[in-house]
Amino acid sequence: MSARLLSFVLLLAVSVYTQDTSQTPLAAPTHYPMLVRGELPLYPPVARSAHISGTVEIQVTVEKGAVVDAEVKSVDIQIADPARRAVYDEEAKMKAGQYLSNPSLENVKTWQFQSEDRATFLVRYIYRIEGDPTPLPENPRIELDLPRVVTVIARPFKPGCSDCDYEEHGRDRVSSIDGKNEAHTCKPKSWRASSGSSREPASLR
């Protein structure tokens, strides 16, 4: 094969490849319907007390303005334990993840959108505990990039011993997320008094 013919074949191959790649359709961008109403997301009390933070991804399907399906796709959690009082295995982390994923599912199911055709997209709930500890729980900071991302940031709270009551004879109480091996010396009275109470969540509207 002559050099001139070889050059022609190479140019033809490059031309065909360029046409094929230019004609490849691009993936359509994800459509996010307009959110018009929903309950205000808060930091789940149990997760906050246990210093659980993390990210929950939920696949949401909306039809005619209503959430018709919501499924947790992934949960990534961190458990703060500065004193290294407990060791959390994968099973314990999976159980702890439900303290973030279940409230996130409940919240996203309250969302209402402008009525339109069926749409499916991912929603990410991000929970963070940061800042200086406070003696009592404070309202979290909420950042919204609706309906894509919901970020809830809470400050840690550490009650003083004057707000705690000890177990019998002052002995440590052993408990943890997995029910095995985390020691505590006191428990806030306010948490015991309010653990069974329920309050109506605030609304985004």
Range of the domain at 87: 35-160
Mean pLDDT of 102-109: 98
> Which of 2-11, 62-71, 181-190 comes out lowest in average pLDDT?
181-190
On whether residue 59 sits in a domain, the answer given is yes
- Domains contained in the chain, number: 1
The pTM for the full model equals 0.67
On whether residue 23 sits in a domain, the answer given is no
On whether residue 174 sits in a domain, the answer given is no
Mean of the per-residue pLDDT values of the chain? 75
On whether residue 170 sits in a domain, the answer given is no
Q: Is the pLDDT of residue 49 over 60?
A: yes
Separation between Cα atoms, residue 35 and residue 111, nearest integer Å: 7
Contact by Cβ (8 Å): 129, 152: no
Separation between Cα atoms, residue 33 and residue 63, nearest integer Å: 10
Which is more confidently placed, 15 or 87?
87
Q: Would you state the pLDDT for residue 89?
A: 76
On whether residue 29 sits in a domain, the answer given is no
Q: Would you state the pLDDT for residue 199?
A: 42
The CB-side HSE value for 138 (13 A sphere, CA atoms) comes to 16
Q: Would you state the pLDDT for residue 93?
A: 85
Which is more confidently placed, 92 or 105?
105
Q: Is the pLDDT of residue 108 over 60?
A: yes
On whether residue 4 sits in a domain, the answer given is no
Burial (0-12, 13-18, 19+ Cβ within 10 Å), 202:
exposed
Q: Would you state the pLDDT for residue 7?
A: 46
On whether residue 151 sits in a domain, the answer given is yes
On whether residue 93 sits in a domain, the answer given is yes
Q: What is the pLDDT of residues 139-190, one digit of tens each?
A: 999 999 999 999 999 999 876 554 444 333 333 333 444 544 443 434 444 3
Q: Is the pLDDT of residue 16 over 60?
A: no
Confidence class for position 1, pLDDT limits 50, 70, 90: low
Judged by DSSP in three states, 116 sits in coil
Which is more confidently placed, 5 or 76?
76
Q: How much of the chain, in percent, has pLDDT values that exceed 90?
A: 50
Mean pLDDT of 6-35: 59
Mean pLDDT of 114-122: 94
